[in-house]
Amino acid sequence: MKPDFDNSILAKLFDRTDGIKLITEAHTHKNAVGKYREYVRLFKRAFQRPFTMLAKKLNQFLGDSKLDYSLDEINKWISFRHQVTHADSKGKYKVIIESDIQKYIPRIEQAAYDVLLNKKKWNDFSKERQLNWEWDTTILKQDETVLRAKAGKLCSFQINLIDEFDSYLCDMDVKISYPENWWVTKKRPEFPVKMEILP
pLDDT by residue (tens digit) across 117-127? 999 999 999 99
What distance in Å separates the CA atoms of residue 58 and residue 88, rounded to the nearest whole number?
29
What distance in Å separates the CA atoms of residue 43 and residue 111, rounded to the nearest whole number?
9
CB 32 within 8 A of CB 17: no
Helix (H) or strand (E) holding 150: strand 146-150
Closest CA to 112 of 13, 17, 29, 19: 19
Given this model, what pLDDT does residue 158 score?
A: 67
What distance in Å separates the CA atoms of residue 98 and residue 196, rounded to the nearest whole number?
30
User: Could you tell me the pLDDT band of residue 185, with boundaries at 50, 70 and 90?
Assistant: very low
Query: What is the per-residue pLDDT across 73-85, written as a single tens digit (0 to 9) for each?
Result: 999 999 999 888 8
Query: What is the per-residue pLDDT across 31-51, written as a single tens digit (0 to 9) for each?
Result: 999 999 999 999 999 999 999
Q: Is the pLDDT of residue 184 over 50?
A: no
User: Could you tell me the pLDDT band of residue 116, with boundaries at 50, 70 and 90?
Assistant: very high
Given this model, what pLDDT does residue 194 score?
A: 61
What distance in Å separates the CA atoms of residue 111 and residue 74, rounded to the nearest whole number?
10
Domain boundaries, the chain: 7-198
Cα angle for residues 76, 163, 169 (degrees, 5° grid)? 70
> How many C-beta neighbours within 10 Å does residue 76 have?
15
Query: What is the per-residue pLDDT across 129-151, written as a single tens digit (0 to 9) for each?
Result: 999 888 888 888 766 667 777 78
Query: Among the listed ranges 91-95, 173-177, 180-184, which one has the minimum average pLDDT value?
Result: 180-184
Average pLDDT over residues 169-189: 59
Average pLDDT over residues 82-96: 77
Average pLDDT over residues 165-177: 68
pTM (two decimals)? 0.80
Percent of the chain with pLDDT over 70: 78
Percent of the chain with pLDDT over 90: 44
| Burial class of residue 123 in the structure, from the number of CB atoms within 10 Å of its CB (0-12 exposed, 13-18 middle, 19+ buried) | middle
